[in-house]
Structure 1
């Protein structure tokens, strides 16, 4: 009986996270604090002994994944644009309070807002579930780390819990770890939004 662990990780902090600007698919690098978060997380993840690492192709996720890979002695990070954050169209790069004024339910609506060219949450969830499932099937009997984005992870949790958790209900922290057990075709949630590594005292 094959069971695999999946560790879904939100990328480290960016300057736009600090300034509360909507990133979406804008390619924003990690801040200094984000780099520190990723290094701290990488040390913490040594206990999990991941076999392979996947990442969104956006630099904030890829930079986080590379730091984890280097610490885990994994030579290659597998990159895909299918794990990108939700596309918010013309709302991207705007302050969050301005976005909320324009589309009050922008983060939780499931329709495509044509006026702003937003990707629908339904489409985001579809590509997320499909991509993650493909990865786990391909990496049979291996423990996998995937570094991506809060909207992506929350859509996945929403799918697994039939809307009881995830999108609109859970605020994921930067470099948080959510752990799942996969036994094809079944999923089990082990833990969500864990940030123990950020609260450890330095040596």
Structure 2
């Protein structure tokens, strides 16, 4: 099995992400068209996308350009729940919740009305295990989601320790990595 981890394309830059409802930018739409070109000719047995708008829009473009079937949306693949900060302008967020960032949270500390790094990790771990179990007979699947989600997944796959303090695996917007079955 091959699993393609594809990060959504660019969305609004001056706002906090997480569970924001920000759409793709026009640059993001053009970027995903170029990414689709790189994926042309690959048959995906399943496509599983986060249900946040930026991932849904990315998936819709890919679905159209690559004639994808078997597309499903999964709430568990959402980026970290950053609660009150979701979609907030960066300047306003800093005024209302000074110095609250993902890498400043303690393991059990939650974003205001959001989740903790521990809860996020456990949610993604459960989701990843379910995806692998449910798709173990498939040859090729694509997951369209977010940087934080893929950070957890890659730590799980490669047996490295996960921490919200330092990102080990970086996937830029619109880029993808491929995980082979012997790694899973």
> Per the shorter chain, which TM-score range?
0.7 to 0.9
Secondary structure of the residue aligned to 2:47 is: strand
Structure 1 CA distance for aligned equivalents of residues 64 and 148 of structure 2: 26
* Alignment partner, residue 77 of structure 1: 71
* Alignment partner, residue 157 of structure 1: 154
Alignment pair present for 1:93 and 2:87: yes
Calculate the TM-score normalised by the size of structure 1.
0.76
Aligned length: 179
> Which runs of structure 2 are paired with 1:2-151 in the superposition (5 Å)?
4-14=1-11, 16=12, 18-19=13-14, 21-96=15-90, 98-99=93-94, 102-103=98-99, 106-107=102-103, 109-114=105-110, 116-139=112-135, 140-151=137-148
Which of structures 1 and 2 has the larger relative contact order (alpha carbons within 8 angstroms, sep 6+)?
2
Task: Give 1:105 shift.
Answer: 5.0
Unmatched runs of 5 consecutive residues or more in structure 2: none
Contact 2:51–2:77 at 8 Å: present in 1 too? yes
Please say which of residues 123-132 and 37-46 is displaced more in the overlay.
123-132
Q: Deviations over 1:174-198 (max 9, x none)?
A: 0110211235xx52xxxxxxxxxxx
Task: Give 1:48 shift.
Answer: 3.3
Secondary structure of the residue aligned to 1:29 is: coil
Aligned-CA RMSD value:
2.6
Unmatched runs of 5 consecutive residues or more in structure 1: 188-203
Contact 1:99–1:106 at 8 Å: present in 2 too? no
Q: Deviations over 1:128-176 (max 9, x none)?
A: 1221222222222321000011111112223334227997224431011
> Any runs of at least 4 consecutive aligned residues in structure 1 with deviations exceeding 6 A, and if so which?
164-167
Distance 1:114 1:163, change over 3 A: closer
Distance 1:93 1:43, change over 3 A: same
Structure 2 CA distance for aligned equivalents of residues 156 and 7 of structure 1: 12
Distance 1:109 1:51, change over 3 A: same
* Alignment partner, residue 194 of structure 1: none
Task: Give 1:44 shift.
Answer: 0.8
